Amino acid sequence: MSKFSIIGIACLVLALVLIAVNMEMAKRQKRGVRQLNRSKAGNFAVFLMLYNRISSIPLLRQLMFSIRKRLEINTVSDEKTIRKRAVLLVLTTVFFSLSIIMIFRLIVKDLFMMVLLMVLLVFTGDTAIELFINNLQNRLLKQLVRYLELLRHKYYEQKSVEDANLEACNLLNGRGTFEAYMQAERINDILTSKDAEEELEKYYETAPNKYFKMLAGIIYITKEYGDTLVENDSVFIRCIAYLACEIKAEIYKREKLKYALKSLNTVSLMPMFFLKPLRNWASQSFMPLERFYSSKIGIILGIATIMASIISYMTLRKLQRFDRPFNAGYIKKNLEQRLYDKFMHLIVDRLIPKGYTARKNYLLELIKNALAPLDLKTLYTRRLIAGVMSFVFGICLFIGLIGYTRHVILYRPQMPEGYLGGRLSDEEYEKLQAITDMDREIILRLGKNSGKEAILEELIKDGTLSTQEAEAAAERIGEKMRKLSENIFWWWQLLICLILFILGYNAPIISLRFMANARKIDMEDEVSQFQTIILMLMHMNRVHVQEILEWMEAFSLHFKIPLQKCIQNFSSGPYEALEQLKTEVAFPPLLLIIDNLQLACENLDVAKAFEELESEMSFSRETRKESNERIVERKKNLGNMIGFMPVYALIVLYLIIPMIVSGMESISAFYRQLMQI
């Protein structure tokens, strides 16, 4: 056999070996893929089973559906992924809450503290879910910046907005940018559909944020009317650059505000857990404080501190929201609407202002400025519910205080008058407890309306006390009987309950006023976004004033209703419609934009009317940066004031006032004893 034959046979054998190895590796790879798919399918099956099980549990069902609605609004995923994330969030929240409750129960065996812990867990669980959603939103914004970079790069290469978006979409289909890829794919579907304008309108309704709306609109206009050059620069590229700057400014504002308001939610709720330790420490150091904390005024001050924490926390939550408040029950009617439909319409319809009155216009304007998802019927139903609940709370509070005061008088040992020391010894406490037991037996035997003679007769009958001791005991028991006789529901307590009803009835209005004032901080930011929209549209082909107004309305929160009215009246007279818009808005930063729009309606085109805005672009960027800093600073100051309000309430209401009052009472009693010597 020749040398070449041997080499040929060896090459053939080697080729066969390589083919066999390759086939074996392919089989293993397919087997691994099948196992991976089966594993993923098995995991999804487990989550789907848990989803169905949780949906059958009433309390958990409400929590899961609330989480699901937020995920649907803020993310774009398939049904399986949404269900999986919802189940994971529910299980994490429930497991964390149960773990904290069990640990806390082992450490602190106090029913009052356990109730406060459960209240805290309800709030913190919702906060954790909100943080998760905010992180999803921030991640999507950062991915959008990457999307714009790819789109800009591919547009320079392809010179076609459709091809550039398609290639950018393919590049986004990777790890870390999946959410942006889903949006890019939807925009690509809009561009290739038969009725692109209708699909664009549908996308506006379901887009996760306004920046994706802007991008979809810019791409659609460029595809329909073509790109233009201004000073040898592409208008489409300019729009992408403006949009990228806008998104980066939003990310910067969110991150800075998140850092500025960091931990304020925890600070606002922590005073609830310091009530009991502070009370124990103060009572052990200065015994008269225990008598104050056990009194009616002490209990009311403790409740006021807890209410301050809850109100502060809820206000901070509203202040930290970046977008329109999300209504998790937007599909089903909320509680107020259901109660109104059942029976409360009989009362509410009589309370709502009739006709075109100043009061009705004021309330409608307040609802609009606060961006509250309700109408007058829902508002008055909420006011009535809040008022009735406050009235019932006052009644229950005073009835509970009456029962608690009776228990303290009959069963709690009373400190000697004028006592200024610390904690009593066990022997002294047992003596006081024995005196309390004896007093209770006599009070229950004689009744609370007995006179001093009957008490003395009963004490002497026992024969355990001397005459002088019996006189002192009769005075003490008579004082307790007097307190028990006065421990009733007085007329002024009913008056306080009526005042609570009025406060509760007006609480929703006060809340709307606060939210309206807080939203004014964001109005300047929205006007800056209008300027960015105009900069993006002013050089595009066939863009006119009405289209600019439609864009402003689509991305507006605070001026949406006036802009809608202006668009509706635009066909009957552009100048008059814009003049009416100026009357309704009355916000100075926006009036300049409206004046320029009026110029564009008459003698100038859009580019000429807003050329000053473009020439001052660099100045506008600095102004925008300063505006963002100012908005963050104002929200930070407001958040710090609200967040630390419960801490101040704890120190003033539950420490300083009790010390002053109990100290003055003890000193007065001490001087009375000195005067009797």
Amino acid in the structure at residue 348? V
Low-confidence ranges of the chain (pLDDT < 50): 3-4, 15, 18, 29, 32-40, 325-332
pTM of the model: 0.69
d(CA 71, CA 647): 34
DSSP secondary structure string, 173-225?
Answer: SSTT-HHHHHHHHHHHHHHHSSSHHHHHHHHHHH-SSHHHHHHHHHHHHHHHH
Task: Please give the pLDDT value at position 258.
Answer: 81
Task: Please give the pLDDT value at position 389.
Answer: 93
Q: 445: which residues sit within 8 A by CB, 6+ positions away?
A: 458
DSSP secondary structure string, 400-440?
Answer: HHHHHHHHHHHHSPPPPTT---SSPPHHHHHHHHHHHHHHH
Q: Where are the domains of the chain?
A: 91-260
Nearest to 242 by CA among 619, 526, 535, 614: 535
82's tokens: 């949404």
Task: Please give the pLDDT value at position 183.
Answer: 86
Amino acid in the structure at residue 357? T
Task: Please give the pLDDT value at position 330.
Answer: 37
Task: Please give the pLDDT value at position 383.
Answer: 92
Element of type H or E holding 234: strand 233-234
Phi and psi based region of residue 279 (left: phi greater than 0; alpha: psi -120 to 50; beta: remaining): alpha
In contact, 228 and 541? CB cutoff 8 Å: yes
- 604: helix, coil or strand? coil
Task: Please give the pLDDT value at position 384.
Answer: 93
Task: Please give the pLDDT value at position 329.
Answer: 37
